[in-house]
Amino acid sequence: MAASERQWVLMATGRSPTNIAVIKYWGKRDEALILPVNDSISVTLDPDHLSATTTVAVSPSFPSDRMWLNGKEISLSGGRFQSCLREIRKRACEFEDEKKGIKIKKEDWENLHVHIASYNNFPTAAGLASSAAGFACLVFTLGKVMNVKEDYGELSSIARQGSGSACRSLYGGFVKWCMGKKDDGSDSLAVQLADETHWNDLVIIIAVVSSKQKETSSTSGMRDTVETSPLLQYRAQTVVPSRVLKMEEAIKNRDFDSFAKLTCADSNQFHAVCLDTSPPIFYMNDTSHRIISLVEKWNHSQGTPQVAYTFDAGPNAVLIAPNRKTAALLLQKLLYYFPPQDKNLSSYLVGDKSILGDAGLHSIEDVDALPAPPEMKIPKQKFKGDVSYFICSRLGSGPKVVADENQALIDSVTGLPKGV
């Protein structure tokens, strides 16, 4: 390349949602390729509330690949990042922008370095599948910059090599990760079961639970489970396959009753195999148990599931209500038991705050005046401080390009993250 060409910076920005599994992924049959022991199914959350935004910049002036996560530079040397970069580079295509004087031939991509800046619009530490949104966004945005022509299914298979559940964040709505059979993992990818408009009255409330315990990472946790739990293989080979079929039916028919029962049962079974691991893994704590108990008693009192719950590798509860009316009732019950520690109701429920109005909760006084849920017998104890905050969300769409250059995370002149 000529010296005059060295100054250009080519950029793309993408935004990818996070997802919550309703049939859980736990256990790999291949650690390096991240191939799971069973299919899993997830719902994609609204990226307005929970998503990663990533800008990828390419320039002949960059001497090496670099990445910044939430403003802090992190190492790209890990195998997972390297897999994603390698697989996308392999599929990179010729690109030309005559106006900017950019012309990149297919073989040039091998020698062009990237700067990546990524940002989550929710706390990384909250244990809300930030790596799923992050790797999906990385692969999606790398693909845009490098003019990759492959479909989302193939991209999902690449994102999978960054973080298993990331493959499910390549689509909106309801997504299935097919475990695949091939040794090379090429058939282990995500497919969309239905988009977010298919069942758009579902409301999702997440209770971010305070935890003092250091949690077992899901990577080492699932490795321990595969190696030591006598129950995992039975779950993966016998229980999950029939649950996946039933869950697909439930989603197709918008059958909330069946959807809720399967979701709760599979969350509990995932935590059961964690407990069957040596040493045992505890992700749920007493607060998680209390939220389950609240939902189970409510569901039992009504004779039919009002709300589904599911817990990932942490104590946070993800609660799914069939509509806003039920979600508002759920919020009343949750806030009765878990009132905010300070007087600020507005920062205690983030995301779609309008649900507070539906629940008639306009001030902290309204929370204090909530009656005890009648289905809960004694003790009517409250647990102030046990939930950090709530997020109200809904189903959302898959990854999107952010066209507005003002929202890019990298300065197109310096090629470095903005504000760093």
Using the contact rule CB under 8 A, the part of the chain among 181-189, 259-267, 391-399, 401-409 near a copy of itself is 259-267
Q: Which stretch binds a copy of itself (CB under 8 A): 16-24, 252-260, 292-300, 334-342?
A: 292-300
Q: Which of 128, 34, 37 is nearest to 83 (CA)?
A: 34
Q: How far is CA 247 from CA 38, 212, 258, in A?
A: 14, 34, 8
Q: From 343, 330, 107, select the one nearest 207 (Cα to Cα).
A: 330
Cβ proximity to a copy of itself, 213 vs 354, nearer residue: 213
**Is 324 a residue that touches a copy of itself (CB under 8 A)?**
no
Q: Which is nearer to a copy of itself, 52 or 292 (CB)?
A: 292
- Residue 233 or 414: which CB sits closer to a copy of itself? 233
If we measure between CA atoms, which residue out of 370, 300, 198, 299 comes closest to residue 308?
299
Helices (H), 161-255: 218-228, 232-234, 240-252
Whole-Å CA distances, 86 to 36, 108, 310: 21, 14, 35
User: Using the rule CB under 8 A, which residue among 125, 245, 272, 420 binds a copy of itself?
Assistant: 272
Among 18-26, 176-184, 229-237, 344-352, which window interacts with a copy of itself (CB under 8 A)? 229-237
Query: Does position 265 bind a copy of itself by CB under 8 A?
Result: yes
Q: How far is CA 125 from CA 128, 139, 208, 315, in A?
A: 8, 22, 10, 12
Contact residue for a copy of itself among 4, 75, 77, 381 (CB under 8 A): 381
User: How many residues interact with a copy of itself (rule CB under 8 A)?
Assistant: 31
Q: How far is the CB of 271 from a copy of itself (least distance, A)?
A: 6
Residue 192 or residue 263: which is nearer to a copy of itself going by CB?
263
What would you measure as the largest C-alpha separation in the chain, in angstroms?
Answer: 78
Residue 244: both structure tokens together: 């996946």
Establish if 300 lies at the interface with a copy of itself (CB under 8 A).
yes
Can residue 63 be called a binding residue for a copy of itself (CB under 8 A)?
no
Whether cis (ω within 30° of 0) applies to the bond prior to 280 is no
Query: 148 in helix, strand or coil?
Result: coil
Asked whether position 303 contacts a copy of itself by CB under 8 A, the answer is: no
Taking each continuous run of H as one helix and of E as one strand, the counts in the chain are 11, 19
379 binds a copy of itself (CB under 8 A): yes
Nearer to a copy of itself, 271 or 394 (CB): 271
Which residues form the interface with a copy of itself (CB under 8 A)? 212-213, 230-231, 234-235, 238-239, 261, 264-265, 268-269, 271-273, 275-280, 282, 285-286, 289, 292, 296, 300, 379, 381
